[in-house]
Structure 1
C-alpha cells in the first residue's frame, strides 16, 4: 500500500517541477504615464514614440514631413515644429513630472501627467494622456497605447499638430 501512495505522489511532484506557463507582461496605463514622464524629463521621447497608436504615429510622421517642406520653402525661418512635437502644453522644461492613472474602461484610459517647476510652483500644470487598447499581435490581448494628449483648455496634441501648419 505504501508503494501505491508513493507512486501516486511521484507524478504530482514531477508536474510541480515543470516550468509554469509564461504569461505576457503588459504595461499598465500608469506605467505608460511613468515612461512618458521619464522621456519628458530626459528630453528624449523615443521610448514614448514606441507606445503610440499607429494612427498617432502616422499623424506625427506626416507633421514632420510638412515641417521639412515648410523649412525648405522658407529657409532661415523657424519651421512650425521648430520647438519639436508639442507633447505638452508648454515647451518650457519642467523639472518634475508625475503620472496618475485616472478612469480606465475597456475602450479608453486616461493618465494625468502633472508637470512641476521647483523654482516656480505657480507654473505647475497637468495634461492627460488618452490611451486606447491596440491589438499588436493577432490572438493576443490588446496593449494600451497613447492615442492623444489632452493639453487642457480644449486643446490636444492632434489639434496642435494640425494647427501648426494653418498659417
Structure 2
C-alpha cells in the first residue's frame, strides 16, 4: 500500500483551496433602476453614484468643484447645487418609485423609473435612466452603468448640470 506524505498531499490541498473561476453576476438594467428607486426613496443616492459611467462620475466631480468655487466666491448665496444633484424632473421628495422594464441594445439601454406621491396620486411622473456598457471584453459579461437620466422635455441630468454653471 502506498503512503502519501506531506509532499504528496500538499499540492492536492492547495488545488482544492483555490477559488472556482465562476463568472461574475451581471447587474441587469432593471436591477440598476431598482437600486436607483430604493436609493431615491431612501434619500441616499450614494449607491447610485457608484453605478455611474466613468465619464458621468468625472462630470459630477467637476460640477461639485465648480459648486465649491461658487460658494467660496459668493458667501451666503445659494450655490447652483444647493439642492443637490438634479436626480429627477422635480426636486420634491417622491415616496414611491417603480422600475420599469429595460430596453437594451448592444451599446445602449433605457429603463423608466416612475415616481409616485401617496399624498398626491395625480402627480406621478417618469424619468428614463440611460445606460451604457462599461466594458465589452470578449467572453465577459456586459457591465451596465448609468450614463445619463432623461428628465423629459429635452432636459437631461447632464444638461441640467451643465446649465447650472452657465454664465
Q: CA deviation at 1:20?
A: 7.3
Deviates more, 1:74-83 or 1:133-142: 133-142
Q: Distance in 1 between matches of 2:35 and 2:25?
A: 16
Deviations 1:81-109 (A, max 9, x none): 00000011111000000001232111111
Q: CA deviation at 1:71?
A: 0.7
Partner residue, 1:60: 60
Deviates more, 1:96-105 or 1:32-41: 96-105
Q: What are the ranges of 5 or more consecutive residues in structure 1 without an aligned counterpart?
A: 1-18
Determine helix, strand or coil for the equivalent of 1:130: strand
Q: Distance in 2 between matches of 1:140 and 1:52?
A: 20
Partner residue, 1:3: none
Counting only pairs closer than 5 Å after superposition, residues 85-124 of structure 1 correspond to structure 2 as 85-124=85-124
Deviations 1:117-164 (A, max 9, x none): 011012111000000011288973330000000000010000000001
Deviations 1:42-87 (A, max 9, x none): 1111100110100000000000000000011110010000000001
* Cα pair 2:129 2:148 within 8 Å, conserved: yes
Partner residue, 1:157: 157
* Cα pair 2:26 2:142 within 8 Å, conserved: no
Normalized against structure 2, the TM-score is what?
0.84
Runs (4+) of structure 1 moved beyond 2 Å? 136-142
Q: How many residues align?
A: 149
Deviates more, 1:140-149 or 1:154-163: 140-149
Q: Distance in 1 between matches of 2:121 and 2:112?
A: 18
Deviations 1:3-58 (A, max 9, x none): xxxxxxxxxxxxxxxx9752211100000000000111111111001101000000
Determine helix, strand or coil for the equivalent of 2:79: coil
Normalized against structure 1, the TM-score is what?
0.84
Partner residue, 2:75: 75
Q: What are the ranges of 5 or more consecutive residues in structure 2 without an aligned counterpart?
A: 1-18
| RMSD between superposed Cα atoms in Å | 1.9
